[in-house]
Amino acid sequence: MAVVISVPAEVRAGENRVALVPDIVKKLTGAGNTVQVQAGAGEGAGYSNDDYVAAGATIAANDNLLSNADIVLSVNPLTAEQLQKLRDNSILIGYQNPWSETSRFQLLLTKGVSAFSMELVPRISRAQAMDALSSQASIAGYKAVLMAASLSGKFFPMLTTAAGTVRPSKVLIIGAGVAGLQAIATARRLGAMVEAYDVRTAVKEQVESLGAKFVDVGIKAEGSGGYARELTEEEKQQQQAILARHVAAADVVICTAAVPGRASPKIITTDMVNAMKGGAVIVDLAAEGGGNCELTRTGETITHQRIVIHGPVNVPATVPNHASELYAKNLYNLLDLIIRDGKLQVDLEDQIIRDSLITHAGDIVNAAVRERLQASGN
């Protein structure tokens, strides 16, 4: 029996991505799987129903395709109504928001669903091709620079014109992880002078190799799994004192600093914004987690004393074609571990499977999620 894979249309407002693109559907159907796509699912990313049919998929008029699927692939977490439709013991793969609205997990447990969370794919080399956080962060970093350039009243590059020479914009990137490094590269391509700061001093070399200057505030905050740890109060003050000078000199600040599972660290205070130049721009990619700037309003663009502060949400969805292409490849590579010789297998001995599974056969599998739920009494 062929494995049945279903792709519902995303229901989140403003979501233009889709979990599978036709090229990946073709690979899956070519390998003997059945793929069902909800009508219009690829529309926002530039794919018609006909494109999916040409790749071997069937089109379903509504999300009833959830109830007969062995595997459901999504970008965003399914709604409670969609979760109800899942077949008992089926597999769900997508973003699951593992640290919030955890009451959803109860339904997954009751139904025996194996729910894989793309946020929890471990940061180990074998899993790099499945790492959706990285593929989507890279897109967000690129787009943040374009957003900043269009909000700024200045050129990014130095320009020598008959009317005089224009100095290049100074861009400060806060957080040099995947999004930050892509933001550095993009701002450099546009000709800006770029500085970057991260609490993980290990990234200094990467920052410099992209042609940016590393701002050293003398704090080391390497945490586990390649992530940063939270700073102590004392460290935060030390960080702010040094960063304040660099923020004041910047034409554009792009914030990308995050600590997984926690609210975004507040790095740019109101006082620091008050000291910025008129017309300066802050693009806060951490807005969804509350923002790295104290004044950021999630999903809004505000002007505070002539400084523009942009707090976009779901930035990858604004580059939906390539974002979907990369996300679909991430899913395809993860599916390679789950569909073996045309049969489903969930091998809990495999670290990638064990870490990225939230629920399986009525149990919470990911250790950190289990601890968090136990601590909150759920």
Q: Which residue is nearest to ligand NAD (CB)?
A: 177
Q: What is the C-alpha separation between 153 and 166, in angstroms, rounded?
A: 12
**Closest distance between ligand NAD and the C-beta of residue 245, in Å?**
16
Contact 352, 122 (CB under 8 A): yes
Instruction: Quote the least distance from Cβ 29 to ligand NAD, whole Å.
Output: 29
In the list 83, 193, 258, 352, the residue contacting ligand NAD (rule: CB under 6 A) is 258
Specify the length of the chain in residues.
378
Exactly one of 260, 288, 321, 373 binds ligand NAD (CB under 6 A); that residue is 260
**How far apart are alpha carbons 58 and 37 in whole angstroms?**
6
Q: Find all residues with CB under 8 Å of 141, minimum gap 6, and list them.
A: 178, 179, 180, 181, 182, 183, 186, 254, 256, 285
The Cα 144–Cα 222 span in angstroms is: 25
Say whether residue 228 binds ligand NAD (CB under 6 A).
Answer: yes
Sign of CA dihedral 137, 138, 143, 148: positive
What residues numbered 106-145 form the site for ligand NAD, per CB under 6 A? 123-125, 127-128, 131, 133-134, 137
DSSP string, 261-313: TSPPP--B-HHHHHTSPTT-EEEEGGGGGT-SBTT--TT-EEEETTEEEE--S
Of residues 189 through 218, those in contact with ligand NAD by CB under 6 A are 197-200
Total interface residues for ligand NAD by CB under 6 A: 31
CB of 163 to ligand NAD, least distance (A): 39
Pattern 145-174, ligand NAD, x by CB under 6 A: -----------------------------x
Query: Residues with Cβ < 8 Å from 193, sequence gap 6 or more?
Result: 168, 169, 170, 171
Binding part of the chain for ligand NAD, among 44-52, 76-84, 160-168, 257-265 by CB under 6 A, reads 257-265
* CB nearer ligand NAD, residue 63 or residue 131: 131
Q: Kindly tell me which residue out of 148, 207, 259, 323 binds ligand NAD, with binding defined by CB under 6 A.
A: 259
List CB contacts of 341: < 8 A, sequence separation 6 or more.
Answer: none
Question: Where in the sequence numbering do the catalytic residues fall?
Answer: 123, 128, 131, 134, 227
Nearest approach in angstroms of CB 224 to ligand NAD is 10
Measured from the CB atom, the residue of 44 and 175 that comes closer to ligand NAD is 175
Distance in Å, CB of 354 to ligand NAD, minimum: 16
d(CA 9, CA 146): 28
Least distance from ligand NAD to the Cβ atom of residue 265, Å: 4
Question: By the criterion CB under 6 A, which residues form the site for ligand NAD?
Answer: 123-125, 127-128, 131, 133-134, 137, 174-180, 197-200, 226-228, 231, 256-260, 265, 267
